[in-house]
């Protein structure tokens, strides 16, 4: 077997059905299997998996973890490569799998490959569209092998460290022989980027698979956006020791800075006047949620265990997922 595709699942809904349909219709000479690990779906996800005849493992919701659940799924596969995709990421075309895995053969030191995300333009706000586009634009417009070539910049420069550490198991491939030795950490968020940072520090390489995109974006209600930002900035600190701000005055300064940037972005967009006004109001509120959540997540490590537990119970999307 060449490839084992691993998909964590919980209440996958219509996007999951589209994901599986696109996986089934892939054109590739590589052999592949599909392994789904369900952590307590209450919709028809399990029936859909069985309908496709894919391998299904069921675990309790309390046992779910972004790192350990993917490790579990990968351990059940027989492929030379493990492809990770999420239930809400839809391969953009029928050559997605071929284009995601073939670049792994270019260099034996490539430990992981990742493809771009395309926003779902009908169900994504203008700020997420811009963020997703800019995130993947930095990796170029062709297949690109990346290694850690500047140790000094890696230690001192947040942007370069982020570039080197970036990895997204919404749409990725890893070399199983290496992944078995160095699996994901059992963490609640950013397991993919924590892993890639360690691999790059060990001298391995990654590859940006330009022609292997998925359609994957979100337009979360603000309350859910807050909980995801909280988890995200907890994870970013674990990867890069990055904090959105280290004091309330700095927090306010950064909040106003990003609001000014996004205000100009909307002003110069092709939206109608009414749409611009609506998005500007939304932007101020959205950034308030982001910066407040980011500040709490970034200083999480400074708190004692009791306070950490209280924050997680109140704000962590991952905590709720494991306990529902």
Q: Mind listing the pLDDT tens digit of every residue in the chain (324 residues)? A: 999 999 999 999 999 999 999 999 999 999 999 999 999 999 999 999 999 999 999 999 989 999 999 999 999 999 999 999 999 999 999 999 999 999 999 999 999 999 999 999 888 889 999 999 999 999 999 999 999 999 999 988 888 998 999 999 999 999 999 999 999 998 877 899 999 999 999 999 999 999 999 999 988 889 989 998 998 888 778 767 778 888 999 999 999 999 999 999 999 998 999 999 999 999 999 999 999 999 999 888 888 888 888 888 888 877 776 666
The CA angle 181-113-108, to the nearest 5 degrees, is 60
**Which sign, positive or negative, has the C-alpha torsion 107, 109, 115, 116?**
negative
Q: Which of 21, 151, 3 is nearest to 93 (CA)?
A: 21
User: pLDDT value at position 256?
Assistant: 96
Give the span between the Cα atoms of 87 and 60, in whole angstroms.
18
C-beta separation of 22 from 49 below 8 A: no
Q: Which of 266, 15, 292 is nearest to 125 (CA)?
A: 266
Q: Which of 172, 214, 230 is nearest to 196 (CA)?
A: 172
What residues contact residue 286 under an 8 Å CB cut-off, 6+ apart?
125, 127, 222, 225
**Which sign, positive or negative, has the C-alpha torsion 246, 247, 249, 255?**
positive
C-beta separation of 222 from 317 below 8 A: no
Pairing status of strand 81-85 against strand 32-38: unpaired
Helix axes 126-137, 248-267, angle to 10 degrees: 100
DSSP for 131-198?
A: HHHHHHHTT-SS-EEE----HHHHHH-HHHHHHHH---TTEEEEEHHHHTTS---S-SS-HHHHHHHH
Q: Which of 185, 5, 193, 160 is nearest to 97 (CA)?
A: 5
User: pLDDT value at position 324?
Assistant: 63
C-beta separation of 173 from 112 below 8 A: yes
Give the span between the Cα atoms of 77 and 177, in whole angstroms.
12
Domain regions of the chain by residue span: 3-215, 222-322
pTM of the model: 0.88
C-beta separation of 252 from 259 below 8 A: no
Q: How many residues does the chain have?
A: 324
User: pLDDT value at position 49?
Assistant: 98
CATH class of the domain whose range is 3-215: alpha beta
Residues 32-55 as b or e (16 or more Cβ within 10 Å = b): bbbbbbbbbbeeebbebbeeeebb
């Amino acid at each position: 077997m060449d490839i084992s595709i691993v998909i964590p699942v919980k209440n996958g809904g219509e996007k999951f059905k589209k994901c599986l349909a696109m996986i089934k219709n892939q054109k590739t000479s590589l052999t592949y299997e599909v392994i789904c690990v369900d952590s307590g779906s209450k919709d028809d996800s399990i029936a859909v998996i069985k309908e496709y005849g894919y391998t299904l493992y069921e675990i309790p919701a309390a046992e779910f973890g972004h790192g350990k659940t993917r490790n579990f799924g990968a351990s059940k596969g027989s492929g030379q490569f493990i492809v990770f995709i999420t239930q809400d990421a839809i391969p953009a075309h029928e050559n997605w799998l071929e284009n995601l895995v073939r670049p792994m053969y270019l260099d034996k030191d490539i430990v992981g490959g990742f493809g771009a995300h395309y926003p779902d333009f009908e169900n994504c706000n203008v700020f997420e569209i811009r963020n997703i586009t800019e995130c993947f634009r930095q990796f170029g417009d062709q297949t690109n092998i990346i290694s850690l070539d500047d140790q000094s910049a890696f230690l001192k420069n947040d942007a370069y460290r982020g570039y080197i550490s970036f990895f997204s198991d919404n749409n990725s491939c890893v070399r199983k022989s290496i992944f078995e030795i160095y699996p994901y950490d059992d963490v609640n968020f950013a397991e993919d980027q924590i892993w890639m940072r360690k691999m790059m520090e060990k001298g391995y390489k990654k590859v940006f698979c330009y022609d292997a995109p998925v359609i994957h974006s979100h337009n979360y209600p603000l309350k859910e956006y807050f909980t995801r930002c909280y988890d995200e900035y907890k994870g970013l600190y674990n990867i890069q020791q990055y904090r959105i701000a280290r004091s309330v005055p700095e927090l306010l300064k950064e909040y106003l800075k990003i609001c000014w940037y996004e205000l100009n972005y909307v002003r110069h967009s092709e939206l109608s006047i009414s749409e611009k006004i609506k998005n500007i109001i939304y932007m101020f509120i959205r950034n308030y949620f982001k910066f407040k959540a980011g500040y709490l997540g970034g200083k999480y490590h400074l708190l004692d265990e009791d306070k950490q537990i209280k924050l997680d119970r109140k704000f962590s999307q991952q905590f709720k997922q494991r306990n529902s």
